[in-house]
């Protein structure tokens, strides 16, 4: 069965180790995590204006291909608010990591 893409939305300053943890949890919940904040800095630099613009464009393209946006972390930053707003305009489901886990638990509880 094909798994849905889930866009990982987190603060810019989130440590890579924490982003990997979020991605792993989303994977465990049955989705394919898409995390631009983790993947794009591997080959693009936020210090180079042209590459910073490319990061924003690539992130938008990746979001458009996802079924949902998963908000990770305790606070919503301004950059996260922009991603959430875009997802809402595109009619993409927005949820938190905790909310996604609750849905998964409830689905498993009533599947038996």
In the block, tokens 């809402």 appear at 88
Domains, the chain, ordered by start: 5-110 (3.40.50.450)
Task: Provide the residue count of the chain.
Answer: 112
State the residue for tokens 């996260």.
80
Per-residue pLDDT of the chain (112 residues; tens, 9 = 90+): 789 999 999 999 999 999 999 999 999 999 999 999 999 999 999 999 999 999 999 999 999 999 999 999 989 999 999 999 999 999 999 999 999 988 877 777 776 5
Do 20 and 38 form a contact (C-beta atoms < 8 A)? yes
């Amino acid at each position: 069965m094909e798994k849905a893409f889930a866009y990982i939305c987190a603060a810019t300053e989130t440590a890579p180790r924490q982003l990997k943890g979020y991605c792993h949890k989303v994977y465990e919940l049955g989705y394919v995590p898409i995390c631009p904040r983790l993947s794009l800095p591997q080959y693009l630099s936020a210090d180079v204006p042209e590459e910073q613009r490319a990061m924003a464009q690539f992130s938008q393209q990746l979001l458009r291909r996802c079924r949902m946006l998963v908000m990770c972390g305790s606070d919503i930053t301004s950059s996260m608010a922009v991603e959430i707003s875009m997802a809402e305009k595109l009619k993409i489901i927005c949820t938190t990591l905790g909310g996604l886990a609750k849905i998964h638990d409830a689905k498993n509880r009533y599947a038996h």
